[in-house]
């Protein structure tokens, strides 16, 4: 099992960030380094990459706010 966490250091602390869209659904198999989701911060877009290959479990719904370091998904 591998944790997928929101990246740190890419935007200013305090800027509001949210998952704009998950590109895969719960239970989909994904490749390592696949773009799993996009994170919108102040109209800029950041990628959430998969740290491993496996089956995706989404823990934060699209359009919910996230903060750097937060657990967003798991890869099993």
Partner 1 sequence: MSSPDAPTVIAPARRLTIARAIAEAIGQEMERDATVLVMGEDIAKLGGVFGTTTGLLDKFGPERVRDTPISETAFIGAATGLAAAGMRPIVELMFVDFFGVCMDAIYNLAAKQCYFSGGQVTCPMVLMTSVGGGYGDAGQHSQTLYATFGHLPGLKVVIPSNAHDAKGLMLAAIRDPNPVVFMYHKALQGMGWLGTVQRSITDVPDADYLVPLDKAKVVREGKDLTLVGLGLSVHQALDAAERLSGEGVSAEVIDLVSIAPLDRQAVRASVRKTGRLLAIDDDYLSYGVGAEILASVCEAGIALRSAPQRIAFPDIPVPFTPVMEHFVLPNADKIVAAVRHMMEPSAND
Interaction with partner 1 in 6-35: which residues (CB under 8 A)?
Answer: 18-21, 23-25, 28-31, 34-35
Please, which residues have CB within 8 angstroms of residue 43's CB and are 6 or more apart in sequence? none
Q: Closest approach of Cβ 8 to partner 1, in Å?
A: 20
Please, which residues have CB within 8 angstroms of residue 54's CB and are 6 or more apart in sequence? 2, 29, 30, 75, 76
> Is 53 among the residues that bind partner 1 (CB under 8 A)?
yes
Q: Closest approach of Cβ 47 to partner 1, in Å?
A: 9
Q: Which residues bind partner 1 (CB under 8 A)?
A: 18-21, 23-25, 28-31, 34-35, 38, 40, 43-45, 53-55, 62-63, 76
């Amino acid at each position: 099992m591998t944790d997928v966490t929101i990246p740190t250091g890419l935007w200013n602390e305090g800027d509001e960030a949210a998952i704009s869209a998950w590109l895969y659904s719960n239970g989909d198999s994904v490749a390592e380094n696949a773009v799993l989701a996009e994170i919108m911060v102040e109209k800029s877009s950041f990628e959430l990459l998969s740290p491993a290959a496996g089956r995706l479990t989404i823990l934060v719904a699209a359009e919910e706010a996230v903060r750097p370091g937060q657990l967003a998904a798991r890869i099993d």
